[in-house]
Structure 1
Amino acid sequence: MSRPVTPSSVRRVTVITGGSRGIGAATALRLARDGHRVGLGYAKDEEAAQRTAQAVREAGGEAVAVRMDTSDAADVDRLFDTVRDALGPITGLVNNAGVSGPLGRFTETSPEVMRRVVEVNVTGALLCARRALREMSTAYGGSGGAVVNISSAAATLGSPGEYVHYAASKAAVDAMTVGLAKEFTGEGVRVNCVQPGSVLTEMHAVMGDPDRPWKKARITPAGRPGEPEEIADAVAWLLSDEASYTSGAVLRVAGGL
């Protein structure tokens, strides 16, 4: 029995949440080089989202950017409707949107920060996956596809003294990945996950410590932070036909941590 291969005539249309900067933007450019048309969901930075969309177009791809909140079901529907109408039937989702709140001890983390982290990182990921699966699952009339969730090495390291609440939210993403893979792989949708380590993005400055990636490098066997493009390469592989028998995997891309 030969492995399934996506026909070259099939238009790959992939939704990327948190697509304006960092890992999301790097993934958009990487997928554009692989022939994907990309829909970028972003929360606030319209200028950054449009820059990423333009970079995709300059790389020969097609892109549309939609401002939205992943924790709002109506916004999620609007994102997927817009991407489908502009670019065609959706074949992939990169569930990348995430927030952490400021670094600090767990006992000093406000309930408001905890709730927002769960809303975006857990509820938002679930809502986006639900809509993507309704688009792609053969049980709903779709032609199959793939979901890649972006988790974090924090899911297993726990991140004491920094953001235990964030680590807990990413552990939920890992569990979601395994459960959805078991439920939907038989309906033509592979579901996998990437666990980045400390990566050079603007997220660290937002947390309150722009030098954090280099501090973490001291305890990372690779001796350096990761680059967003290195995470994007892993995502691209999981979305590709080369990963046709891979579903339910949690792929650590963390420099040996």
Structure 2
Amino acid sequence: MKTMLITGSSRGIGAATAVLAAQRGFSVAVNYNKNIEAAENIVEKIKSTGGSAKAFKADVSNEAEIIRLFNEVDTEFGNLTCLVNNAGILEQQSKLENITWERLQRIFQANTLGSFICCREAIKRMSTKYGGNGGTIINVSSIASRTGAPFEYIDYAASKGAIDSLTIGLSKELAEDGIRVNAVRPAFIHTDIHISGGEPGRIERVKESIPLKRGGLASEVAEAILWLASEKSSYSTGIFIDVTGGR
């Protein structure tokens, strides 16, 4: 059985990816930090259609909790096949001049450092060098890594820029170890993250500047992630799929 661990998968893109992964034959480790009810709802949705899933609580901005998470997934499912680094946060829209040190720490620990440590733990389990069977890592970046998100989320954009660099570098490090590393860069997706930024209606405000004239769905991002996790993308590593409506 293939096993996929998706960080931050109790809602939004992560939840949509969990449901689709189960449909494609993965056992799914649904990671959450605070909302156990939402995570359990995703697990029950998967199980109700014959899939295999379990919820795992861990704060991926904390190294010790990441290590515990991977050990618990080992115990429950055995061999890890795919890691999806999806967990991420943003905070209220702000220019850099008003961003605090504490905010920067929160953003980079959750969005960047957590992904690095999750990759490290996945390598130990999947690399053929360590006796693993190979696998895939998919990082959820953002189109903000290319635009810089001025006047809104420069810190978030920079944290995702680091994820882009991680994807490129790690894909080359692991190419001979049976692990492919790729990324998706979503933008303007209908999820709750816009509430965190203080503008729930942000997509409605900007949709006329999007060539497809609409926001995207979490399920559309999930389709890209599952393609990268499958053998259909077996000759692709170090690539990015932009799910941005043409922006």
Same fold (TM over 0.5): yes
Q: Distance in 1 between matches of 2:213 and 2:178?
A: 39
Residue 186 of structure 2 corresponds to residue 196 of structure 1: yes
Normalised by the size of structure 1, how large is the TM-score? Answer: 0.94
Structure 2 partner of 1:80: 70
Q: Distance in 1 between matches of 2:113 and 2:220?
A: 27
Stretch of structure 1 that moved more, 176-185 or 59-68: 59-68
For residues 216-251 of structure 1, give each alpha carbon's deviation from its aligned partner in whole angstroms, at most 9, with x where no partner exists: 212111101110000000000000010001100011
> Contact conserved, 1:71 with 1:127, CA < 8 A, in 2?
no
Q: How many residues align?
A: 247
Structure 2 partner of 1:231: 221
Could you tell me which of 168, 177, 184 is aligned with 1:178? Answer: 168
C-alpha RMSD of the superposition: 0.8
Structure 2 partner of 1:130: 120
Gaps of 5+ in 2: none
For residues 97-139 of structure 1, give each alpha carbon's deviation from its aligned partner in whole angstroms, at most 9, with x where no partner exists: 0011111212112221111100011100000011011110001
For residues 10-31 of structure 1, give each alpha carbon's deviation from its aligned partner in whole angstroms, at most 9, with x where no partner exists: x110000001000000000010
Gaps of 5+ in 1: 1-10
Q: Distance in 2 between matches of 1:29 and 1:141?
A: 29
Could you tell me which of 219, 226, 233 is aligned with 1:243? Answer: 233
Q: Distance in 2 between matches of 1:109 and 1:58?
A: 44
1:131-150 alignment to 2 at 5 Å?
A: 131-150=121-140
Structure 2 partner of 1:100: 90
Q: Distance in 2 between matches of 1:164 and 1:66?
A: 31
Structure 2 partner of 1:39: 29
Residue 57 of structure 2 corresponds to residue 67 of structure 1: yes
Residue 106 of structure 2 corresponds to residue 116 of structure 1: yes
Report the alpha carbon displacement of residue 189 of structure 1 after superposing the two structures with TM: 0.4
Q: Distance in 1 between matches of 2:140 and 2:224?
A: 11
Q: Distance in 2 between matches of 1:107 and 1:174?
A: 25
Report the alpha carbon displacement of residue 59 of structure 1 after superposing the two structures with TM: 2.4
For residues 171-199 of structure 1, give each alpha carbon's deviation from its aligned partner in whole angstroms, at most 9, with x where no partner exists: 00000000010000210000000000110
Q: Which runs of 4+ in 1 moved over 2 A?
A: none
> Contact conserved, 1:29 with 1:59, CA < 8 A, in 2?
no
SS at match of 1:218: helix
Q: Distance in 1 between matches of 2:135 and 2:183?
A: 14
Normalised by the size of structure 2, how large is the TM-score? Answer: 0.98
SS at match of 2:235: coil
Q: Distance in 2 between matches of 1:27 and 1:213?
A: 21
Structure 1 partner of 2:16: 26
> Contact conserved, 1:17 with 1:42, CA < 8 A, in 2?
yes
Report the alpha carbon displacement of residue 78 of structure 1 after superposing the two structures with TM: 1.3
